[in-house]
A and B are shown apart, each in its own frame.
Chain A
Amino acid sequence: MSPKTLYDKIWDAHLAHEAEDGTCLLYIDRHLVHEVTSPQAFEGLRMAGRTVRAPDKTIAVPDHNVPTTPGREDPANMTEDSAIQVAALDKNAKEFGIHYYPVSDIRQGIVHIVGPEQGWTLPGMTVVCGDSHTATHGAFGALAHGIGTSEVEHVLATQTLIQKKSKNMKVEITGSLRPGVTAKDITLSVIGATGTAGGTGYVIEYCGQAIRELSMEGRMTVCNMAIEGGARAGLIAPDEKTFDYVKGRPHAPKGAQWEAALNWWKTLYSDDDAEWDMVVTLKGEDIAPVVTWGTSPEDVLPITAKVPAPEDFEGGKVTAASRSLDYMGLKPGTPLNEIAIDTVFIGSCTNGRIEDLRAAAAILKGKKIKDGLRAMVVPGSGLVRAQAEEEGLADIFKEAGFEWRLAGCSMCLAMNPDQLQPGERCAATSNRNFEGRQGKGGRTHLMSPQMAAAAAITGHLTDVREVM
């Protein structure tokens, strides 16, 4: 048999049909659904008299547009448009008989945190969702990617997607990370190296010692941002850490089925002599704590660097950098660690898991946020929130001056009332620093939870290694 990559193996195991021109139907094992990109798809099903083919493989949870403040179980405490979208999801979940975690359920949270937490996401699966950060689930060795609403409707109706195969890219992080350097710094540094379009047309497999040494939470952070590098999906081969994480979760297999699953999962790795269309290698030791300075995730530099000038770039990036600096209100040559911030946001599907909260709390313990700063923690799920309370992390955040919110996407995309004001500058653990992303005119600097916590204490972007 010819050698295969992990992506090849998962692809082959899910090929339901292949036409002569190479157009394939890929079978979908898990379809995650949220309130913002699904209403039109369910409406399309109704209008065509179609139904959901595999309701048992379809899981819905409201996350994008829900408030993160108390009392939200009552729609009267939501904005009108949120209430309409949540009510639509509620109705669609009931009518089509799909799994559902409403806001009143402690298991509710960001769809990409709930899936793994509940054991819906398993190695070797195909996972899709009408959200680009579906790549998160690749951390389990699942082929996971975002789709548009028309494709959501297609998967609801047929449990398949029309696909052509992507190319294989290997991203290897050799060696170990230095203290203060995290999964977020890996994934941002990779995007810095390849650019936001560098992964277009590819599925990335992340490998190497530094990846192996990451926890499952860290691996999810890395895969989460594969889309910011343009890739269709990011993957990490499953190992003992993966199996340990999955075992015992509510929807993970049990007994004899666990053994059978484990046997197959252990075959899910790229063969030694597999062929790669592109290989990128970074040394783990060389990766520093990084922050973004511009309005694209590729605008990333070590915290010890200075704001670049447009003329440091070439081609279309000259204009783009100039526009970014103007939007961000930054002058070339300013040391990044002197940039004062107004707000800190810790949360999102990138960094809203328990390990992220532990890391931020470790920096904040016994400290206060800088006077005048607004800071909030939005746990990724109700269960993460409960665990953080049990571990005493919530008290650390609250004593430091952070708001302690309910689970949701919140200020990552700012659909709900959690938004930046024009000109407000935010240290954020989320995934996108686009113009207006966190609120019209808002200025976002992406970084790890540790770095965001350090910035909260000093009031400016800060090298976490100085406060550890």
Chain B
Amino acid sequence: MDKFTTLTGIAAPLPLINVDTDMIIPKQFLKTIKRSGLGVNLFDEMRYNDNGSENETFVLNKDAYREAEILVAGDNFGCGSSREHAPWAIKDFGIRCVIAPSFADIFYNNCFKNGILPIALPQEQVDLLMTEAEKGANARITVDLQEQAITTSDGQVMSFDVDAFKKHCLLNGLDDIGLTMENVASIDRFESEAAQSRPWV
């Protein structure tokens, strides 16, 4: 997995609540058996017109945000389907950090497995970053995972929470399965005990 340490980049504003994973990557793009190449279809139904041309009013189609690496959005981001194609598409587009007042549980977990940092902040702070993001390409935001700090272009700093284990994995680009395998003796022990106590499983 790719590491996430610090990131300085353009933040794109998407001031919508309940952005669901169908919106992030519609089902017709779930037909792939690969993880790559989904970026071009990120937010497909909002991003393209029926004839396939770009919808120029959509934020990621505006020149200032084509290179965005951070997304600032509304409450309950990533709700709905468990499809990991959603973070795959976000990452493939080039976005490495999503900031919102809250995230849906499965999407939040999926981000960490793909080198994306989701940051939940109080509404007032998201509002402030949304205003900042609306300034366009000149307003670059810095996200420092080690320090758990976000710095705006005019030097305002805000801190954020992240689970210590998830932070450790993201900072070092660690593979979850490899880490779990270090505890394989515990799994073996549990499995043999459970075979005695709950043999019907």
Contacts and interface: CB of A to CB of B under 8 A. Distances in A.
A232 B27 contact: no
A178 interface: no
Given A85-B33, A148-B84, A264-B198, A25 B183 contact: yes
Contacts of B198: 13, 124, 261, 264
A22 to B, nearest CB: 8
B22 A17 contact: no
Interface string A25-51: 101010000001101100100001010
Given A21-B165, A23-B165, A150-B110, A414 B27 contact: yes
A153 B175 CA distance: 11
Interface stretch (B62-70, B149-157, B184-192): B184-192
B105 A200 contact: yes
Contacts of A149: 35, 84
Given A154-B176, A159-B187, A160-B180, A197 B33 contact: no
A16 B191 CA distance: 8
B33 A154 contact: no
Interface in A399-454: 413-415, 422, 432, 434-437, 440
Interface in B163-201: 163-165, 176-177, 179-181, 183-184, 186-187, 189-191, 194, 198-201
Interface in A186-233: 196-197, 200-201, 227, 230-232
B18 interface: yes
Contacts, number: 188
B187 A148 contact: no
Nearest to A415: B27
A316 B201 CA distance: 46
A197 B30 contact: no
A19 interface: yes
B35 A200 contact: no
B113 to A, nearest CB: 4
B33 A158 contact: no
A164 B105 contact: no
Given A16-B187, A48-B177, A132-B106, A21 B164 contact: yes
Interface stretch (A1-9, A317-325, A334-342, A456-464): A317-325
Contacts of B191: 16, 27, 54, 159
A436 B45 contact: yes
Nearest to B26: A436
Nearest to A323: B16
A422 B33 CA distance: 27
Interface in A262-305: 264, 296, 298
Interface string A162-195: 1010000000000000000000000000000000
16 contacts: A17-B190, A36-B83, A57-B201, A65-B31, A85-B31, A130-B84, A132-B81, A146-B82, A148-B87, A151-B109, A153-B177, A157-B180, A197-B75, A197-B79, A200-B103, A298-B18
Interface of B: 15-18, 20, 22-23, 26-28, 30-35, 45, 50, 74-76, 79-84, 87, 102-106, 109-110, 113-114, 163-165, 176-177, 179-181, 183-184, 186-187, 189-191, 194, 198-201
Given A122-B200, A149-B35, A196-B79, 15 more contacts: A27-B194, A85-B31, A85-B33, A88-B33, A130-B82, A151-B109, A157-B177, A197-B18, A197-B76, A200-B105, A260-B199, A316-B16, A316-B74, A422-B50, A437-B22
